[in-house]
């Protein structure tokens, strides 16, 4: 029999229950609390908490608290990337953020999705699709990236945009849903 965690990791419908998932959620909550309450005067402790929480954190990358996630170990942040205040990374599926990415305040990366059918939602089924933000992208304040989306390298996503499908490299995209409005050199 396949566990709910195995179903989750395979991208299949699952329910966020069972000892493995509950332990992972509890672990992430404890580590996120440690990171979010670490004193600014002790950057080494703050960095250690973040490294314990995340799947990987590249050299000279930085996340400003508060930071919220489901699991932590599903999130991978590249070198020299900056994540501003109030980031919400629902990392039910893998979140991969490249190098030199800039993420504004209040950005949400949401891998989780739920069924449209009421009965399945009541039964607490959900699933997830990975999100990738490629190197040197910039997500402005309040951007929301939905499940299964890739934001291309060097792409700039304007503040408040909702990214519902892949964005190519080297564009400026704005709106809801986000659409490329300009090519970048």
pLDDT confidence of residue 84: 98
Alpha-carbon span 98 to 128, nearest angstrom: 20
**pTM for this predicted structure:** 0.96
Alpha-carbon span 126 to 91, nearest angstrom: 13
Residue in this structure with the two tokens 């929480």, named with its chain if needed: 53
pLDDT confidence of residue 167: 98
Residues (pLDDT < 50) of the chain are none
pLDDT confidence of residue 185: 86
One of 114, 121, 124, 165 is an active-site residue; which one?
114
* 127 Cβ contact partners less than 8 Å away, ≥ 6 residues apart: 8, 11, 12, 13, 14, 112, 113, 114
Alpha-carbon span 132 to 177, nearest angstrom: 18
pLDDT confidence of residue 12: 93
Known catalytic residue: 114? yes
pLDDT confidence of residue 178: 98
pLDDT in tens, 99-136: 999 999 999 999 999 999 999 999 999 999 999 999 99
Alpha-carbon span 15 to 127, nearest angstrom: 8
Alpha-carbon span 1 to 69, nearest angstrom: 28
Architecture per CATH, 4-183:
3 Solenoid (2.160)
Tokens of 155: 């792409």
């Amino acid at each position: 029999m396949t566990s709910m965690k195995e179903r989750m990791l395979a991208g299949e419908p699952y329910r966020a229950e069972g000892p493995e998932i509950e332990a992972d959620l509890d672990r992430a909550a404890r580590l996120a609390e440690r990171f979010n309450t670490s004193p600014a005067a002790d950057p080494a402790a703050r960095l250690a908490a973040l490294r314990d929480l995340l799947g990987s954190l590249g050299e000279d990358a930085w996340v400003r608290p508060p930071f919220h996630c489901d699991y932590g170990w599903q999130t991978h942040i590249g070198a020299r990337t900056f994540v501003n205040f109030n980031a919400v990374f629902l990392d039910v599926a893998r979140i991969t953020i490249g190098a030199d990415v800039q993420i504004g305040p209040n950005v949400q990366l949401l891998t989780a999705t739920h069924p449209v059918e009421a009965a399945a939602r009541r039964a607490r089924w959900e699933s997830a699709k990975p999100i990738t933000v490629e190197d040197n992208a910039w997500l402005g304040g309040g951007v929301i990236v939905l499940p299964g989306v890739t934001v291309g390298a060097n792409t700039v996503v304007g503040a408040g945009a909702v990214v519902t499908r892949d964005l190519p490299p080297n564009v400026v995209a704005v709106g809801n849903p986000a659409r490329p409005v300009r090519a970048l050199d």
